[in-house]
Structure 1
Amino acid sequence: MKNRKLHAWLWRWHFIAGMVSLPFVLVLAITGGLYLFHPKVVETKTEPWRELGLTDEAQRLTYQEQWNRAKGVLKKPLSQFQIPEKSSESTQFTAGRFSHKTTVYIHPVTGAVLATFSPKDSWMYTVRKLHGELLGGKVGTKLVELVACWMVVLILSGLYIWWPFERGAQGVFTIRWRQGKRIFFRDIHAVIGFWMSGLLLLTLAGGLPWTDVFGAGFKKVQKWTDTGYPKGWNGRGLTSIVQDKPLTLDAMVAIAKAQGLPGTVSVGLPKGTKSSFSVSNKTFPLSEQKMLHFDQYSGALIQEYAWSDVGVLMRGRMWVMAFHQGQFGAWNWWLMQGVAIFLTLMSVGAIVSYLKRKPTKKLGVPKQPKKFKVGVGFVVLLLVLGCLLPLFGASIVLLFIVDVLRKRKTKAGETTLVRSL
Structure 2
Amino acid sequence: MFGTKDFYRSVWRWHFFAGLYVVPFLMMLAITGLVMIFDPIIERVLHDDLYKVSQVTDSPISFEERYQLVADQYPDSTIKRLYVSDDATDATRFQVAVGDDTRSVFVDQYAGQISGDISITDSWYVWADDTHGTFMVGLTGDWLIEIATSFTILLILTGVYMWWPQSGQSLWKAATRINGKGRSLWRDLHSVVGIWVAVILLFFCISGLAWASVWGGKMVQAWSTFPVEQSAKNVSSTLTHEDLNVKGLKQVPWNLEQAPLPESGAPVFGQDTITLDRVVADAKAMGFTRFQVHFPKGETGVFTATASTMGRDINNALDDRTVHYDRYSGSVIADVGFMDYNWFAKSMAFGIALHMGQFGVWNLVACTLFCLAVMLLCVSGVVMWWKRRPAKALAAPPLPKDLKRWKHAVWMLLPISLLFPMATIGMVVILLLDLLVLASMPRLRKVWA
Q: Give the TM-score normalised by the residue count of structure 2.
A: 0.79
- Whether the 8 Å CA contact 1:119–1:125 is kept in 2: the answer is yes
Query: Which residue in the other structure is 1:305 paired with?
Result: 336
Q: Distance in 2 between matches of 1:376 and 1:360?
A: 30
Q: Secondary structure at the match of 2:57?
A: coil
Q: What does 1:191-202 align with in structure 2 at a 5 Å threshold?
A: 191-202=192-203
Q: Give the aligned residue type for 2:381.
A: A
Equivalence for 1:148 = 149
By how many angstroms is 1:110 displaced?
5.3
Q: How far did 1:101 drift?
A: 5.0
Please give the alpha-carbon distance, in whole angstroms, between the structure 2 residues aligned to 1:12 and 1:404: 12
What CA deviation, in whole Å up to 9, does each residue of 1:174-208 have, x standing for no partner? 3242x323212111100111121111100111211
1:242 maps to a residue whose letter is: P
Larger Rg: 1
1:270 matches 2:296: yes
Cα shift readout 1:258-293 (whole Å, capped 9, x = no counterpart): 22324x122232334444333232323212122223
Give the CA deviation at 1:390. Answer: 2.2
Which residue in the other structure is 1:414 paired with?
none
Classify 1:16/1:300 alpha carbon distance in 2 versus 1 (closer, same or farther; 3 Å): closer
Deviation at 1:40, TM superposition (A): 0.4
**Within 5 Å, which residues of 2 pair with 1:287-306?**
287-306=318-337
Q: Find the counterpart in structure 1 of residue 261 from structure 2.
A: 236
CA contact (8 A) 2:22 2:148 kept: yes
Q: CA–CA distance in 2 between the matches of 1:137 and 1:238? A: 31
Residue 66 of structure 2 corresponds to which residue in structure 1? 66
Cα 1:380–1:158 change in 2 (3 A) is closer
- Describe the shift of the 1:110–1:365 C-alpha distance in structure 2 as closer, same or farther (beyond 3 A): same
Partner of 1:419: none
**1:172 pairs with one of 174, 178, 187:** 174
The match for 2:91 is: 90
Question: CA RMSD of the aligned region, Å?
Answer: 3.0
Q: 2:364 aligns with which of 324, 333, 339?
A: 333
Whole-angstrom distance in 2 between the partners of 1:362 and 1:280: 56
Q: What is the rounded CA distance, in whole Å, between the counterparts of 1:76 and 1:393 in structure 2?
A: 45
Q: Specify whether residues 156 and 101 from structure 1 end up closer, same or farther in structure 2 by C-alpha distance, changes over 3 A only.
A: farther
* CA spacing shift, 1:23–1:80, aligned 2, 3 Å: closer
- 1:278 alignment partner, SS class: strand
Task: Please give the per-residue CA displacement for 1:109-164, whole angstroms capped at 9, x wherever unaligned.
Answer: 45443333343232333333443334444433332222222111111111111211
Aligned residues: 402
Q: How does 1:27-46 map to 2 (within 5 A)?
A: 27-46=28-47
Does the aligned pair in 2 maintain the 1:33–1:341 contact within 8 Å?
Answer: no
Change over 3 Å in CA distance of 1:273–1:368 after alignment to 2: closer
- Give the Cα separation in 1 of the matches to 2:285 and 2:163: 58
Distance verdict in 2 for CA 1:278–1:16, change over 3 Å: closer
Deviations 1:67-89 (A, max 9, x none): 12222617553232222433333
Query: Which ranges of structure 1 fall in alignment gaps of 5 or more residues?
Result: 412-421
Residue 36 of structure 2 contacts residue 125 of structure 2 at CA under 8 Å; is this kept in 1?
A: yes
2:396 corresponds, among 357, 362, 365, to 365
Contact 1:246 1:297 (8 Å CA) reproduced: yes
Same amino acid, percent of matched pairs: 26
Offset from partner CA, 1:44-83 (integer Å, 9 cap, x none): 34422221222224x4332112212222617553232222
Taking structure 1 as the reference length, the TM-score comes to 0.84
